[in-house]
Structure 1
Amino acid sequence: MSSGSATATVLAALGEVREWQEDFYRHLHQHPELSHQEQRTAAAVAERLRGWGFDVHEGIGGTGVVAILRNGDGPSVLLRADMDALPVREQTGLPYASTVTATDQDGNEVPVMHACGHDVHTTCLLGAGALLAGATSDWSGTVVALFQPAEELGDGARRMVDDDLAALVGTVDVALAQHVLPIPSGQVGTRPGPVLSAADSMRITVHGRGGHGSMPQATIDPVVLAAMIVVRLQTVVSRGVAPTDPAVLTVGSIQAGSKSNVIDDHAILQLNVRSYSDQTRTAILAAIQRIVAAECQASGSPKGPDFEFFDRFPPTDNDPSTTARVRAAFEHVFGDSAQDLPLQTASEDFSDVPRALNVPYTYWAIGGIDPDAYQAAAAAGRIAQDIPVNHSPNFAPVIQPTLDTGTKALVAAALAWLAKD
């Protein structure tokens, strides 16, 4: 049986899955959980997977779930979804909108919302798991369904890897993942090669010598030092990176001093860097540290700068052969709705999993915006103004055909490896 025929057979039961899937999604959207706090979500996921015959492992990397369905000889395909929500106050006005608050990692009480669509991802992977478990005569091999915590913090995948994920899942042949984006619902988008940027945030403390604002000659002014650093950093991308190699360096925060006539003894800068290759990433980060150190020396700083890295995400670089195989499966299922995905400036940590397992991977997008609303916004030239993007308090994927599309995509992609000959 070809993968296309197997996909059609497996998806024939989509209507039965849809009956519970939509309610599950609404409940998940209404009850979001912050990163590393996904206990209820993980428990609900594990319960359903056990009922379908998966071998379920909970608490991987904290709150992660790994469910394995072995169905004879054949390839092993890993399908991943993320589960965490964001500290955002929902403004969608939906009847199932979140009113949840929670305590974040810094001890602050914050609103919580699935503002990035991870509730879609979780629900779609559950649906795909149910369909594959219900049609084992049409495929052979192993399905590994990985439900990851804390994607928003960039450390959820790594924590699962560090919790001996490789030993748990065994040999895996390919890893697959998807994300809902603000494009028309019903569309799927693929892209070989770089698709999501690496992200690195950096907190830099530069040191001066404090004193009275009327006597600057007795001080080393960290505000001036910070200003010179900001100006010089503008050349890192414009003069140090090829114009054909996309990269972004943003200084998002400068903090120094507390009073107009007091020169403080230090300043803190916070930077964010986006890049699409390990080589460019390494070069930019090295340039930043070189420039900061040199400016501190030029200003006569009493000691060198301090660098702290945080919120770090790897690049997502899709394997071309794997992507072509998935794209062919999508064209069979979705026809003209299988499209090219433009390069994305967002970042995510999925690739930490296939990198650790040393397997090829691809990561694609599904649309979540009502097609009519999107078309109206496009016709008016107001997509940026009228279409909420991920992390917006108004981001709310339409339930259908978003869930159907995401579920079909996971099934079709998996069966591109698992379908019986």
Structure 2
Amino acid sequence: MSGTVTAGLAAMREDLADFYRDLHRHPELSLQETRTAALLAQRLRDAGFDEIAEGVGGTGVVGVLRNGDGPVVMLRADFDALPVEERTGLPYASTVRAVDGEGREVPVMHACGHDMHAVCLSGAAALLAGARTRWSGTLLVVFQPAEELASGARDMVADGLFERFPVPSVVLGQHVGPLPAGFLGYGSGPVMAAADSLNITLHGRGGHGSRPEAAVDPVLMAAHVVTRLQGIVAREVPPAETAVVTVGRLQAGTKDNIIPDTAELGVNIRAFTPAVRDLVRAAVERVVEGEARAGGAVSPPDFTWFASAPALVSDPDATKRTVAAFAAHFGAQRILPMPQVNASEDVGVFGEALGIPTVFWFWGGLETEPTLAAYAQGRIDELPGNHSPYFAPVLEPTLTTGVEALVVAALSWLDVNLVGDGAATPQ
């Protein structure tokens, strides 16, 4: 059945490749994705969607295709880029620079593959719209902004996504990554970690570097904090659990011989269970407060928590059903079980908001044979991964596989018209 629906992909392939190259060449930062959003909305219009809404939760785009009685199935893709300077050397590499939310001019690149996500969903939407005699139900297509800020999904829900549009019974999504192109990877249960970001300000008393006794040095406090935070996972999280604490930003001072008044740290936390997540969050605050007191801080530290995303759970039963459809379409040899991924994704917010299953999978974007060889030889870390300035999926078979995966997944949940196909697909 899915092969019948995807048969039209060959005729669309070059147009989708051109669309991908255009999006890759013109990336937009989170909450600034206006050009991309307009192009995606036009793609849905061209495909014949009944209802299209722009500006949902900021720059989000929603398309609804009603096709008779049956389930409501949601397909989701994100489309924001990152403040990364591209080094791929591709003829369509980004040279874009933009002003970020803090007023800084930064380079911009689709270093996480969200351009590929958006193009594949636009292609899948067009194929499903063109094959309406083959299925029934309602297709809800969601292009989500600001995934990199872990805010886009919540913003869309808060903007009435599930009050203004049909309520789905399942959420389906995918992510391209450093797997061999043409292959799919999946997990069951918690597949990606919860994430929390925290800004910390430590308060000292500035002075001349030659008279440290007359000052309170927040840089020294910050150094102790950075070191001490690494003991949380090593000594407080049970060895059978997984957690990560990263200090990705430490900023203080303007000159080598001036002790500044403050020091700032940016901290990121990953965990898979609510208990460990709460443990680590509390431990971070305890450690920072303790080091501030030990360092004689003139006032307590300031904590600003932001960019929070829940653990992404791929519902076991729903995943089994979807992966079975993948195996039937692609062949079991192209379906790879995957370990948990410490990176995070806010797509889980949608299913969590409704109490419905989410199914999330990965698909490969790197050259197939060299990547398989790197896996076999234990050289995975040498491969360019998401957020790298060198990460850019090969166009094929990445594009074809991503489009087909979304179509196959959707058809595994929609009511399928089997007339003329000769075989039934279990529902």
TM-score by length of 2: 0.91
In 1, the alpha carbon distance for the partners of 2:230 and 2:88 equals 38
Greater CA deviation, 51-60 or 95-104? 95-104
Distance 2:212 2:38 in 1: 61
Query: 2:309 — aligned with what?
Result: 313
**Do the aligned residues in 1 keep the contact of 2:193 with 2:344 (CA within 8 Å)?**
yes
Distance 1:233 1:92 in 2: 35
Q: 1-side partners of 2:253 and 2:31: how far apart?
A: 35
- Contact 2:23-2:36 within 8 A present in 1 as well: yes
Give a deviation string over 1:393-413, Cα, whole Å, max 9, x none: 221211111111111111111
Query: Which residue of the other structure, out of 20, 24, 29, is the alignment partner of 1:29?
Result: 24
Residue in structure 1 matched with residue 92 of structure 2 by the alignment:
96
In the alignment, which residue of structure 1 is the partner of 2:69? 73
Q: 1:133-212 to 2 correspondence within 5 Å? A: 133-212=129-208
Task: Indicate whether 1:350 and 2:347 are aligned.
Answer: yes
1:135-191 deviation digits (Å, cap 9, x = unpaired):
112211111000011111221112111111111223210001100001100001110
Q: Give the match's secondary structure for 2:330.
A: helix
- Tell me the number of residue pairs that the alignment of Structure 1 and Structure 2 aligns: 415
Asked whether the 8 Å contact 1:17–1:131 carries over to 2, the reply is no
Greater Cα shift, 55-64 or 89-98:
89-98
Deviation per CA, 1:328-349: give whole Å up to 9, x if none: 1111111110111221121121
Instruction: Give the % identical residues.
Output: 54
Q: Name structure 1 gaps, 5 residues minimum.
A: 1-5
TM superposition shift of 1:262: 4.5
Amino acid at match of 1:408: E
Equivalence for 1:48: 43
Match of 2:358?
361
CA positional deviation for 1:377: 3.6
Residues 213 and 96 of structure 1: CA distance in aligned 2, closer, same or farther (over 3 Å): closer
SS of 1:248's equivalent in the other structure is strand
Q: Deviations 1:296-315 (Å, cap 9, x if unpaired)? A: 33444332111012333332
Change (3 A) 1:140 1:200: same
Which range moved further: 204-213 or 344-353?
204-213
Q: Is residue 2:97 matched to residue 1:64?
A: no
Deviation larger for 92-101 or 148-157: 92-101
Shift in Å, 1:217: 4.7
Q: Does 1:339 align with 2:333?
A: no
Structure 1 CA distance for aligned equivalents of residues 105 and 294 of structure 2 = 43
Instruction: Give CA-to-partner distance per residue, 1:49-85, whole Å, 9 cap, x none.
Output: 1222211111111211000111111111110011112
- Going from structure 1 to structure 2, the CA distance change for 1:300 and 1:322 (only over 3 Å counts) comes to same
Aligned equivalents of 2:262, 2:280: Cα separation in 1:
24
Q: CA deviation at 1:105?
A: 2.3
Instruction: Confirm whether residue 304 of structure 1 aligns to residue 287 of structure 2.
Output: no
User: Quick check: 1:196–1:347 contact (8 Å CA) kept in 2?
Assistant: yes
Quote the RMSD (CA, aligned, Å): 2.1
Cα deviations by residue, 1:91-133 (Å, 9 ceiling, x for unpaired): 2222222233333223333332221111111111111111111
Structure 1 match to 2:11: 16
